[in-house]
Structure 1
């Protein structure tokens, strides 16, 4: 996959040099609070990074993980995987809190969505997130995704039942923007 360039940042697959930066991001409990996994540790970080590093192409069998690069530094992580429905994908994203509130997530997701709809023939994109993650839900709304569902205590996460929000966006809707 080629680099996807935006105004301030670009997206690319992960490189070996990104391992420590990703460890510094995912070792933070606040970053992992609403994610499905616990913070990375020195013991498990190499294996966790290798999974992301290996995800270089979106296919029906493989997910795609992309580094969000700003000013020569990885500030975020985007993931895309097929849902099992024809031409439908789900996206996930994590950003370094030091860069929050500056529109980087919006810009990166906009680039990703454009790429998915224009080059991957995707019909629908969805994002499922922990309902307590208000900044993430707000980001979905800002990029034009619609809230489609609020499931009550549907996911057991880190020792408690949590609610989930599902956001969706169709290619036809994106084309009208």
Structure 2
């Protein structure tokens, strides 16, 4: 395990994953400011100012050089150039080869398999380019759409942590999914009808 410096854009069948820029602020605001999008993720609805701050700091990484870092990439539809979401790869531990993925999509883009396609690309970066041993996805049990994505990716449901976190004013139950490098690449299940 060394570091990760992808060649951008990272291409999938229908998507381009690329570093976010200040030119993306309006597109990011259209979904990251919405309460329904933020309901089950670890951030509140964002303002333009907060998005600009993140673009200059946390989201400015274009690679991973050490544990404790995260790589956030915009999810762009290749045929239209529209930014429809973003995906993240965390590098948690060098010793344990541990990482985590996450994703957030504009509601208008849901139901087309984009989250699955983007998350699959992030898993590939983590396993094939960074050399991680294990990648997890942790989510709120009520986020059934994200759980479906994890299952389609071939990730194994490993834990249900009942009321393990006081989250946004209430106790939340966490579902943990995981995939090992030895299980990569999985067969992606088709979208639900």
> Could you say which TM-score interval applies, normalised by the shorter chain?
over 0.9
- 1:89 maps to 99
Q: How does 1:32-47 map to 2 (within 5 A)?
A: 32-47=38-53
Q: Does 1:74 align with 2:83?
A: yes
Task: Tell me which moved more, 59-68 or 128-137.
Answer: 59-68
- 1:144 maps to 154
Query: Is the contact between residue 25 and residue 48 of structure 2 (CA under 8 Å) also seen in structure 1?
Result: no
Query: Is the contact between residue 129 and residue 165 of structure 1 (CA under 8 Å) also seen in structure 2?
Result: yes
Query: Is the contact between residue 22 and residue 49 of structure 1 (CA under 8 Å) also seen in structure 2?
Result: no
Structure 2 spans left out of the alignment, 5+ residues: 1-5, 188-193
Query: Is the contact between residue 89 and residue 126 of structure 2 (CA under 8 Å) also seen in structure 1?
Result: no
Q: How does 1:4-153 map to 2 (within 5 A)?
A: 4-58=10-64, 59-70=66-77, 71-84=80-93, 86-153=96-163
Structure 1 spans left out of the alignment, 5+ residues: none
Task: Tell me which moved more, 133-142 or 76-85.
Answer: 76-85
Taking a change above 3 Å as real, the CA distance of residues 170 and 12 of structure 1, as seen in their structure-2 partners, is same
Say how many residue pairs are matched.
177
The TM-score with structure 2 as length reference comes to 0.86
How many Å separate the matches in 2 of 1:143 and 1:176? 7
Query: Is the contact between residue 16 and residue 53 of structure 1 (CA under 8 Å) also seen in structure 2?
Result: no
Task: Tell me which moved more, 68-77 or 82-91.
Answer: 82-91
The TM-score with structure 1 as length reference comes to 0.93
| Structure 1 runs of 4+ with >4 Å offset | none
The Cα of 1:82 is off from its aligned counterpart by: 1.8
SS at match of 2:154: coil
Query: Is the contact between residue 14 and residue 52 of structure 1 (CA under 8 Å) also seen in structure 2?
Result: no
The Cα of 1:111 is off from its aligned counterpart by: 1.6
The RMSD of aligned alpha carbons is: 1.6
